[in-house]
Amino acid sequence: MESLKTTHGQLAKSMAPASDRELLMELNRLWALTSHKRQSAPEMDITLEAYIEKLRAYPRDAVLETLREAPDRSQWWPTWKELQDRIGQKCKRRIFLVEALERKIDEFNGKTNIVGRYRRMQHCSEARNESSDRLAAAYGYDGAGS
């Protein structure tokens, strides 16, 4: 049980977000390296603030790596959805591991986590949808019938 808690603690530390200062520096760097629409200073502040607010929900290493890779992936300033998808891919296994450890710790403590069970079912459903979408794309199925 102690080893589970220790491992969970270490994984939880790896989920810590980047500081606002780090995020601002990386977003400014990204802005300098990509093409984007012209914005006034107040609009730019709102844009950066919105991105920082969203990026705080993700692990530091995944966020910084994604922001640093973005100019090499596209010449354009990325949409939030593009960043979210890339960061999500980088953290998917870690999130599953943290949730699995939390389930085991709850089992040892005699707790049943209904919300966690629902989240797992939702993840499985999303994974199935993602897999079926990839298969459909690979075989050229467009959903309009055979």
Q: pLDDT at position 119, please?
A: 61
Q: Rounded distance, CA 123 to CA 144, Å? A: 27
> Tens of pLDDT along 9-54?
777 788 899 999 999 999 999 999 999 989 999 999 999 999 999 9
Q: What is the pLDDT of residues 51-65, one digit of tens each?
A: 999 999 999 999 999
pLDDT at 146: 44
The pLDDT value recorded for residue 98 is 80
Give the alpha-carbon dihedral of 126, 92, 63, 61, to 10 degrees. Answer: 180
Domain map (residue ranges) of the chain: 2-93
Identify the pLDDT of residue 94: 83
Asked if the model's pLDDT at residue 1 lies above 80, the reply is no
Spell out the residues 6+ positions from residue 8 whose beta carbon is closer than 8 angstroms to its own. 98, 101, 102, 105
Phi, psi of 76 (to 5 degrees): -100, 150
In this prediction, residue 120 carries a pLDDT of 57
Cβ neighbour number for residue 82 with a 10 Å cutoff: 15
Higher-pLDDT residue of 43 and 100 is 43
d(CA 97, CA 15): 11
Q: Give the confidence band of 130 by pLDDT, cuts at 50, 70, 90.
A: low
CB 64 within 8 A of CB 22: yes
- How does pLDDT run across 65-95, given as a tens digit for each residue? 999 999 999 999 999 999 999 999 998 888 8
Q: Is the predicted pLDDT of residue 107 greater than 70, yes or no?
A: yes
